[in-house]
Structures are given as structure tokens and as C-alpha cells.
Structure 1
Amino acid sequence: MADRRILGVPVPVALFFLGMMLPTSVGVSLGGLRMSAYRIVLLAMFLPMLLRLLSGRNVKPNIFDALVLGHCTLALVSLINWGGLQQGIESGGIYFVEFAGAWLMGRVYIRSYADFRAFAHAFVITVVAMVSFTLPEALTSVHILHDGLAAISGGAPAPFIEQRMGLERTFGPFDHPILYGVFSAAAFSMAWYVVAEKRLTNLPGMAQVLGVGLATFLSASGGPYLVLMMQGFVAAWERLFRGIQGRWLMLLGLFVLVYLGIDLFSNRTPFHVFVTYFTFSTQSAYNRILLFEFGTAEVARHPLLGIGLGEWERPVWMSDSMDNFWLLIAMRYGLPAWAMLVGLVLGMVVANARRQGLPEAWKRARHAWAFTLFGIAVAAATVHLWNALFVLFLFLIGAGAWLSDAPLPERRKGIGAAPLLHCRATRPRAPVARLF
């Protein structure tokens, strides 16, 4: 099954994505554990993927795999510390399968530019095709995909959520408009860099870029809009300054200057300003500010192992919903586990950025991968990544691992643009991954 493909995508990846696009009601319950469709796929493939990694045949283990396993182990210890051995192993075990399993799905099965390109095309086509259901949903308030699939599986219909901008907030097949929106927005860089190949004259590709934008808009959610805006911003930066060496250090410097400027000249912290201007309502912004204040206080009280799934101290009138993925990781599993996740993302971005001599198509794939992660990572400060969105994020991180160690294609000697031939069996010039 691992070597068979659907539209160029390995069958396990296709099944995994199909599972993500089903409501959580489509699944089974095993001893109190909710086994949604994507969890069943990850559980079935976990050991084969892990053995494939450890065997070193098609993919060599490196420090990033150690960070993933280290994070999952610390999370498991945190949950055992919170709920005891049995409950901790149950909750920690499924977290291990989701986190490490989704990472392995991308790490093991996306191993070349051809794999990445096939996945990007399938991802974008899926998002654009769903618009045929979600556009009528936004106009009629009938949740076609979610309620239709839930009715088949005996699940509950979509909960009532107030309209925004005169439109019904669309669920698609997901459990919440934010999930649908971020899933759609995550395909933007894939559409622009891989499908349209950065060419405005590529009309079929640009139609899919616009389709991804429309799908994101229909969610009517601030988090997905932020994912899209961040990707669009760095894509515009890359296009404007593509001939300038050190353009990404310039961008980092710009972010630092903006942060310092807000901190110096505003009576609010940069985080307060960021949340205020990137949420739909004042009430929503105020709630996120309170969550940040009480959440960071909880992290300070439990810095090593966090509080697991336990209650965190807050006013009785505050909801327990934590709309900040990064803060929730630190609060639940402790700062060491949080640092491993942050180190995984940043380390892989740096490792892939330092790879030299990539063909132009590979560079576009690198931009698509890095900009997608950037958009989601920034938005994750204002939304929580849960269920399908959580495993999507981990899969996308793993799906870029090939960029740092896949053999470079040889070029035919001669004049002009040479076509790509076979891949060298030699090791990549700099084993960057070992440096992090």
C-alpha cells in the first residue's frame, strides 16, 4: 500500500487526508477513546512508518526526529503526572500517535520534489473543489458536507454560530469554521509557488490561487485570514527583494523594529496590539489578552511538566477555551516540550534555507513549505490547532524534511537550460540537519 499512489500521492497520505476531511463523528469509540478517521489511519500506519524510518532505507533518522520523539515523551510524562499511569498513558498515547504519526506521515512518504508536487496539487484541488459545497453553504446556511456526513454516521449537526459580514460561517466537512478556514488557507503558498509556479500568466494555476482565497474567505474567521495574509506578505517580500542577498535577515530586522517601536511608543504591549488588530471583535481581542495573561501565569507556576489536561487558574466567568496554540502547549506539557516543538520548526526552516544549489522548482517548493508554516505559526498565537488542524500542521512540518537531505538532481552538460536527469547517489553537500 505504501508504494501505491492516487494522483501521484502515496495511498497512506491520501487516506490520511481523507480522514482529516471527515467530521469527528465519523469514527469509532474504543474504551473511551474517540477514534476519528484520521486517527485510525495514523494508528494503523504508526509502526510501519516508524520501522521505515529506523531502518534507514529510504530516509535517515536525524536530530529532528529526536526532537519529535522527545516532545512526545515529555508530553506523555506530563499527562501521567497529571492523571496517573492509566489515564496518562491513554491520553498521552493518542497524543503520541497524532503528533509523531502525522510528522512521520510527511517525513516518510514525502521524500522528493515529485512527491511534494503531487501532494501540493492534490491539496489545492481538494480545497478548490470544496468551494462548490461551501459557497452554497455560506449563502443558504445549509451545512451540506458537515451535516450530510454527520447524518450518515449518526453524529450531531453543526452548532449554531452567528453570521459575519452577512454570510454563514462555513464548516465544510470540518467541526468548526476555523478548521475549514485554516485548512484552506494553508494551500495558498502551494497554489502560488507549485501549481501556478509564480506566474501570473498561468491562468489555470492562478484560478486555483483565487479559489483558495475564496475558500478561506468563506470561513469568515480571523485566524484563517491571518494565515492567508502572512503568506501573502512574505510572498510579496520574496518577489520584491528576490535579487537582494540577505533579504530574510532584512525582514527579521523589520519585525524586530516594528516590535520595538510598538513597545516604546504604545501604552500597550506588542501582543495586545497584535491581537486587537487581527481579531474580528473587541470582545474577542479582550478575551485573548486575558487568556494570555492567565495562561502565562500558569506556565510560570508549572514550567517543567505543565498541568497536563488539568484546570488552569482563571476567573470563574472565563471560558476554558485557550485560543493560543503555542501557549497551550507550554501550559499543558511544560517549557521543555514547548522548546522542542519550536526548535523543530525553526531548526528545519534554517536547515532547509541553508541548502545550496537547489533547482528552481525545488526553491519554489521550499518557499511554499516555509511560507505555509510561517502563516500557520503566526496565526497559532490567536487560534488553537486542534483535531484535523493539529495533525495537518505536524504533517506539513514533516513534508519539508526532504528539502535538507534529498539527493540533488544532476544536470546535463551543455549550453542553455539543461533538463534534469537522474539523482546522484552522493550525500548532499552539507549535512545541515546534524547541526541543529
Structure 2
Amino acid sequence: MTQTGTASKTVFGVPVPVALFFIAMMLPTAVSVNLGGLRLSAYRVVLLVMILPMLLDLVSGRRGRAHVFDFLVLAHCGWALLALINWGGVAQGIESGGIYIVEFAGAYLLGRLYIRSYEDFAAMARAYVGLVLTTLVFTVPEALTAIHILHDGISGAVGGPMAPYIEPRMGIERTFGPFDHPILYGVFSASSFSLAYFVIAKRQLMNFSGMAKVVGVVLATFMSASGGPYLVLMMQGFVCAWQRVLGDVQGRWAALFSLFALAYIAIDLFSTKSPFHVFVNNFTFSRESAYNRILIFEFGSAEVARYPLFGIGLGDWVRPVWMSDSMDNFWLVTAVRYGLPALFLLLALLIGLVWTVGQRKNLPPEWRRARHAWAFTLFGITVAAATVHLWNALFVLFLFLIGAGAWLLDAKPDPKKGRMTQASFKLPFRPAARLF
């Protein structure tokens, strides 16, 4: 173990809390402790232990001054708590809302407070990609033999359920890794693509060791045989290619989003189906899956229209009796459960943070690569989340990754490696030195 400039002990360069969080995410939910009606999975235990110390660090400013995005996180959590109290009463609402706050705010703060420099970010990227590549030792045989080595091995050791049967695709078994579903494993793997390409391979095609890791991430994603993870990979690959070709062109990102807007308008004008229908039909494996997602959107959005302010909490949503209660759309689930204000606060956090970090000028090359890796990862997950729900380990990973880029707001390069200092860059708002 070593000591960083932010006084955090590290393991292979990764702060210990982050290392424990990564390890905990790799354990199936069968590795849990039940307290009454509350299930404490391994990653929940880590976040529960860390939440109060992290809130104290945030208030004290020990790991960087609080800013508006921290307030957006707390505001989202507060609104979700009110929505759950509105649904289930004070006792049930506080129980369900409390664990949601631990997951949402806890995972964000872990990335926000413990990834405070380029060195921290690069070490996190290496650890994350290393975990993905390690799973290949188990998931390649799993795809060929249908023996779910990690999931069933760990679950069986603690008396948990075995992996459910899911039909093979493309001639291979869909791999679970240590997760509860192949989609979770696939998105976990795909989300490391930009980190491997920009931070480890450093965009250099002749960096054979780095590019081998990029290929390994692609292979791990392929083993899941799931449309959502493939979409995460494709979106990252697309913006990576856009950046590589037009890296020196001013206004390239405005041009890209203008193209997206024009494509949306063209589909809306000239197609007999809505842009959402076209998107779902072309980015799912089967007609049945696409049709189900369209129905989910129609009935789910109707639920939002009926309960726009506080949603329906954890209650059941109106749908045909033959439809599953599974809602494969993270953004829609957020609005249905907690209301539109909770969704808008989350989007403001995500879009606002990425946009503000993108305004920094004159960063060193490695910092720009880290920014691309972080922003492209979030972009891929954000698009795919319209076709998959982020739950359990994948949900907290998403929030952790959002927080893991916040150092780019106020840190600046320092000749003394590992020390974080405040940048001369000014935010478009005034950061608070204290929350209270």
C-alpha cells in the first residue's frame, strides 16, 4: 500500500474504498445479508459503511469544495425519498428511500471524493479494465459449455440460486460472469471500452499491449450476447472514431449533435414509425423484444402522465396481464417510480457535469484523453439505458462513473505527482465551500 496526496491508502494505485467497491460489485446478489425486509448485498455494505464519512468529507471540503452537482445529487435523493414516502408511508418510504440514497449518493460520492487526480483516474481505469479481462478466464468457457462458473460457483457456495436458463444466441451461451443477468455483465464489460482505448492504449494503435486490452473488452462484451451492451460499445466506438477523424476541428461536437437532431427530424417526417420505434426496432435482437420495449414505453409513459410529480414509488404499473413487470428502460423507470422532477435532476447532473467539464481549455494530452474516456463511457451507457434497466451493481457503477469525472472540474496539473490543487478555471456558478 502507498499513500496519495489526498491521504488515501491505495492498493495498486486504487484507493482502498474503491478497490473494496469493485470487489463487492463482482459478487452475486446471493452474497447478501438480510436484515428484516432489507437485503444488504456486498456493494451495499461497502457504501453503507462509507456514506457518513463521505458526507463529512463533502461538508468539510477535505477532498475538494462542494459544487452545484453535489447539490443536484442530494436534491435527486431527497425527491426520491419524498416519492417513496408518498407511496408507502413514512416507515416504508424511509426504509426504501434510505437504501436508494445509500446507493445513489454513496456510489456518486465514492467516485467524486476518491478519484481526485489524473493518477487516481488512470489507476481506476487500469483496475476496472483488469477486472473485465480477468472475467474472460471464466466467461469464455461459460459461453462454450453453458456452465456458469462464477455465478453458480459463488452462489452455490453461499446457498444462493443458480443462474436462470436463457436461450443461447449466435451459437453461444449468454454469459453471466458473476452478475445476475447477461445484460449486466455485458454493460459492465462494455463500459470499460473507452477507458481501455484512451487511458491504457492512449489511442495508439501500435500500443500492442494496450490495444490487446481493448480487444479483450470487446470480446467480454460479445460473450454476453445482449443488445444493450452491444449498443454501449457501438456508441463509444462511434464517438471515438468521430474524435479520431475530426480531433482538430472546432465545433465537431456541435456538428455531431446537430446530425443527431437532423436524423431524428428526418425519421419523424419520413417514417411511418416514431424515432423511438425505429431506434428500438434496429437495436434489439428480435421483433418480440422490440415489440415488448415499445409496449413498455407506451404503458410506462402513460403512468408518468398520470403521476408526473411523485410517480408510483415501488408500486405496480398498469399494463396488460400478459406483460412482465420488468421495465427495460432506466430513464422511464426513474420517472415512473420517482416522478419527472427526479428524472430532470438526474439528467441535469449528468448533462451539466459533462458539459461543464468539456469547457475546460488547455489541458495536458493525458487529461484530454481521460475526459474523452469518461464522457464517451457515460454517453454509451446513457443511450443504451433507453433499452435496458440499470439495476443492482450496474446502477451503482453508473453513479460511480459519473462521480469519477468530477475531478476534472477543479483539479489542475501539479509537478508534485498525486497532489490535487484548485484550477484557475471558473465554473459557470459559484462552488460552495460548505454545504451548511
- Tell me if the contact between 1:181 and 1:216 (Cα under 8 Å) persists in the aligned partners: yes
Match of residue 104 from structure 2: 99
Alpha-carbon distance in structure 2 between the residues aligned to 1:100 and 1:253: 33
- Tell me if the contact between 1:70 and 1:340 (Cα under 8 Å) persists in the aligned partners: yes
Query: What whole-Å deviation, never above 9, does each CA across 1:262-321 have from its counterpart, x for those lacking one?
Result: 001100000000000000000000000000011111101111111101111111111110
Query: Partner of 1:28: helix, strand, or coil?
Result: strand
Match of residue 168 from structure 2: 163
- Tell me if the contact between 2:156 and 2:162 (Cα under 8 Å) persists in the aligned partners: yes
- Tell me if the contact between 2:198 and 2:370 (Cα under 8 Å) persists in the aligned partners: yes
- Tell me if the contact between 2:267 and 2:274 (Cα under 8 Å) persists in the aligned partners: yes
* Residue segments in structure 2 that go unaligned for 5+ positions in a row: 2-6, 432-436
Corresponding residue to 1:328 among 329, 333, 344: 333
Query: What whole-Å deviation, never above 9, does each CA across 1:374-406 have from its counterpart, x for those lacking one?
Result: 000000000000000000000000000001111
Query: Partner of 2:33: helix, strand, or coil?
Result: strand
Query: Partner of 2:39: helix, strand, or coil?
Result: strand
Query: What whole-Å deviation, never above 9, does each CA across 1:117-136 have from its counterpart, x for those lacking one?
Result: 00001111110111010000
Q: Which amino acid aligns with 2:223?
A: L
Alpha-carbon distance in structure 2 between the residues aligned to 1:380 and 1:406: 30
- Tell me if the contact between 2:185 and 2:224 (Cα under 8 Å) persists in the aligned partners: yes
Match of residue 252 from structure 1: 257
Q: Which amino acid aligns with 2:39?
A: R
Pair 1:431-2:427 in alignment: yes
Corresponding residue to 2:24 among 16, 19, 27: 19
After TM superposition, list the pairs within 5 Å mapping 1:9-408 onto structure 2.
Answer: 9-408=14-413
TM-score by length of 1: 0.96
Alpha carbons of structure 1 residues 111 and 424: separation in structure 2 relative to 1, 3 Å: closer
Query: Partner of 2:412: helix, strand, or coil?
Result: coil
- The CA deviation at 1:433 is 5.7
Say which is worse superposed, 213-222 or 348-357, in terms of deviation.
348-357
Query: What whole-Å deviation, never above 9, does each CA across 1:211-261 have from its counterpart, x for those lacking one?
Result: 000000000000000000000000000011111100000000000010011
Q: Which amino acid aligns with 2:271?
A: S
- The CA deviation at 1:32 is 1.3
Alpha-carbon distance in structure 1 between the residues aligned to 2:320 and 2:422: 60
Query: Partner of 1:409: helix, strand, or coil?
Result: coil
Alpha-carbon distance in structure 2 between the residues aligned to 1:3 and 1:403: 19
> How many pairs align?
427
- Tell me if the contact between 1:8 and 1:115 (Cα under 8 Å) persists in the aligned partners: yes
Q: Which amino acid aligns with 1:213?
A: V
Query: What whole-Å deviation, never above 9, does each CA across 1:299-351 have from its counterpart, x for those lacking one?
Result: 01111111101111111111110000001101110011100000000000111
Q: Percent identical across equivalent pairs?
A: 66
Alpha-carbon distance in structure 1 between the residues aligned to 2:55 and 2:418: 28
- The CA deviation at 1:421 is 7.1
Query: Partner of 2:95: helix, strand, or coil?
Result: helix
Q: Kindly indicate whether structure 1 or structure 2 has the higher relative contact order, using CA contacts under 8 Å at least 6 residues apart.
A: 2
- Tell me if the contact between 1:59 and 1:108 (Cα under 8 Å) persists in the aligned partners: yes
- The CA deviation at 1:408 is 3.3
- Tell me if the contact between 1:409 and 1:421 (Cα under 8 Å) persists in the aligned partners: yes
- The CA deviation at 1:432 is 3.9
Alpha carbons of structure 1 residues 426 and 397: separation in structure 2 relative to 1, 3 Å: closer
Match of residue 416 from structure 1: none
Alpha carbons of structure 1 residues 29 and 421: separation in structure 2 relative to 1, 3 Å: closer
For the aligned residues, what is the CA RMSD?
1.5
Alpha-carbon distance in structure 2 between the residues aligned to 1:232 and 1:5: 31
Alpha carbons of structure 1 residues 179 and 424: separation in structure 2 relative to 1, 3 Å: closer
TM-score by length of 2: 0.96
Alpha carbons of structure 1 residues 422 and 23: separation in structure 2 relative to 1, 3 Å: closer
- Tell me if the contact between 1:407 and 1:425 (Cα under 8 Å) persists in the aligned partners: yes
Q: Which amino acid aligns with 1:430?
A: K
- Tell me if the contact between 1:348 and 1:433 (Cα under 8 Å) persists in the aligned partners: no
Say which is worse superposed, 267-276 or 424-433, in terms of deviation.
424-433
Alpha-carbon distance in structure 1 between the residues aligned to 2:203 and 2:128: 17
Q: Which amino acid aligns with 1:359?
A: P
Q: Which amino acid aligns with 2:411?
A: A
Alpha-carbon distance in structure 2 between the residues aligned to 1:314 and 1:188: 37
- Tell me if the contact between 1:171 and 1:180 (Cα under 8 Å) persists in the aligned partners: yes
Alpha carbons of structure 1 residues 224 and 425: separation in structure 2 relative to 1, 3 Å: closer
Query: What whole-Å deviation, never above 9, does each CA across 1:67-109 have from its counterpart, x for those lacking one?
Result: 0000001001100110111111111100000000000000010
Alpha-carbon distance in structure 1 between the residues aligned to 2:139 and 2:188: 13
Alpha-carbon distance in structure 1 between the residues aligned to 2:152 and 2:140: 15
Runs of 4+ in 1 over 2 A off after TM superposition: 407-410, 420-429, 431-435
Alpha-carbon distance in structure 1 between the residues aligned to 2:419 and 2:48: 33
Query: What whole-Å deviation, never above 9, does each CA across 1:1-59 have from its counterpart, x for those lacking one?
Result: 97211110000000011111100000210111010000000000000111011101221
Alpha-carbon distance in structure 2 between the residues aligned to 1:297 and 1:392: 29
- The CA deviation at 1:425 is 4.7
Alpha-carbon distance in structure 1 between the residues aligned to 2:343 and 2:313: 13
- Tell me if the contact between 1:64 and 1:433 (Cα under 8 Å) persists in the aligned partners: no
Alpha-carbon distance in structure 2 between the residues aligned to 1:194 and 1:426: 23
* Residue segments in structure 1 that go unaligned for 5+ positions in a row: 411-419
Alpha-carbon distance in structure 2 between the residues aligned to 1:387 and 1:12: 18
